[in-house]
Structure 1
């Protein structure tokens, strides 16, 4: 790809930002206004009282909220009512999706392949945020994705370089995709496109409520990306370290220049994202308000889906160790910690909603026990968000695959088997565990 094309893409960022604006709000005064969540040492507080997060991931909220053929506002209202009835107070949702050449990315996106804005989907985010606020809940708005299922950083790179890599391509086995995507941080033109999206959304006025995003207490934090890694291989992590940290610092500063009311978070998994480098995890969270950790025992090989009974005991030890490691990092930084993604398969790694969830219940309880102990003892873990909410959605195909054009969005994103990790509205035992935990968050 020629340099003049790359320069053109970088130069177009300001124009792109102007297209996004639903209205502009000047930067707020120093310090958050009343009613906003902020950090106080290792705690989150709101209105002078502790704010304990009992939440879920619901990446697709904006898609349901769109007044478009792919939207379903009545379903969104039903799902939010179910979540509120469980006592949940926080949802982590996607506030970005980039269409492009990646084969597994969701369509439509919030920006099309040519970089133009999908206004209907952005207004779907407006609608979702308005309804979340009506129910006294808050949202974490995720501004991009390291992984391919929403386009993400790899797609932004493709827009300026003309080349891309698909996750899972046999010609490029792991960690090739992670190493390739991490080149984003040192590409000024790609970062400029990301910053244009960030700036325009932070400066947006909600088309439903008329309230500037920067003044909306329904937002808990802006999150830089879903699981941004500095690379996959040790060599890539070392090579990208400075650019990665610079991207975090500059992006956080850009948000704060436009919005003094809301916290900024990173969205990182923790040491799994840094090949065990706890020092890099601490450094990466130096410019944001709280730490995040994601825990995926099956994906990380800590348990086996076809032998949960035999592998869960050792897997549980690793889960507890991971919680301890990240609690220690949070104490060192004197910042809160949220376990904002944790997922586990159904028994036998089944996808059918009728399959049992005995080991998933044990896993959730392990996380919830650690969170509740921290609440009771003044520790840094301030809450959690399970992955993810499927609600009334059901897989549209016998093979549990997602196909372009499917509209039964669920917590399992389009590249994954539908029903793999999410909670359905019929998961009675799981929902009771969530409800009991959420009640303790209010205690």
Structure 2
């Protein structure tokens, strides 16, 4: 099938390459000329495991191309819209400028019978607003939310755990659902749940999922706050309650909280939309979820200060990680960088290292010092803080080896990912998040 993908950022580039890898003919379209040039040359504009390989394969096969010319969308059976929906600068609401612009630019090149499939995360009701514009061209608008995990986005696109398609309740909607089944045929054929809903439900599925995950993370971080004043160990607490099948252990890792380009802005946009709908009280708890999350960043800074005797001025602090999570170079709303910037603001000599995100971090926070090589970054440090769970830091950095390089023996485990007993046995003063 011939497909177009409007927007070639993180979501769109992965989707375009993945769809080409399962046999479709795909054209990716974006207004960013530099991004399109890189993708056309087979170069991924961001770090995502597996993407360079399927990108190169798709281009070499002729099934995948990229352009800035929207007219290239003409003739595609399905047009996926995957542009960004950032938080508005003056409020919590989502900025739909790019979604509206993408649809308006696409409409002149639609043909009767075409399907426009929204993939962007949008406030519920967006599809209803866009539908008249799309239907005026004889096309059908559906909503097909993405559920990608950065670091596993290629896998999640090709082999998703579920597919959700919101369609209008008419014959065109039923036909569109059948076409999307064909688009995702390999996954559907192996039994992946294919859930057909109305448009509003499909929009809510994505934001509800993100709100639930954010709530679960902030819940265990709230328990960490209680543990810190009672002497309890939040990691043991999480293990114990995680055995309850109704709760589960996943996403019960206390630490410095979540970040990235999705969870923070999506729960804020959800709150803002609920207020617009007159149901702000229904998700009022998300404000506290957000506040708990932000408090944990400050707590990590406090632990560094405590470890260094109450003063970080002119102390060298090695910050292990810059990306908001491992297997990514994404620094959007990164808790790791937030902690680094706060420490720098207190007069510390902050050195940041990360396997993939240094270039992005340097562009946004040039005031920090960056060193690529882990051992050089921790050399002569008075304290070390783990803030991103890369294996290079969490598993591969032995405390005995670190002792030969650093000036101090203070380690703050911002992700509760280190072996506390091993670090203490090696002579380190270990501080965890919500741990004695």
Q: Using CA pairs under 8 Å that are at least 6 residues apart, name the structure with larger relative contact order, 1 or 2.
A: 1
Structure index of larger Rg: 2
Normalised to the residue count of structure 1, the TM-score between the two structures is 0.29
Normalised to the residue count of structure 2, the TM-score between the two structures is 0.29
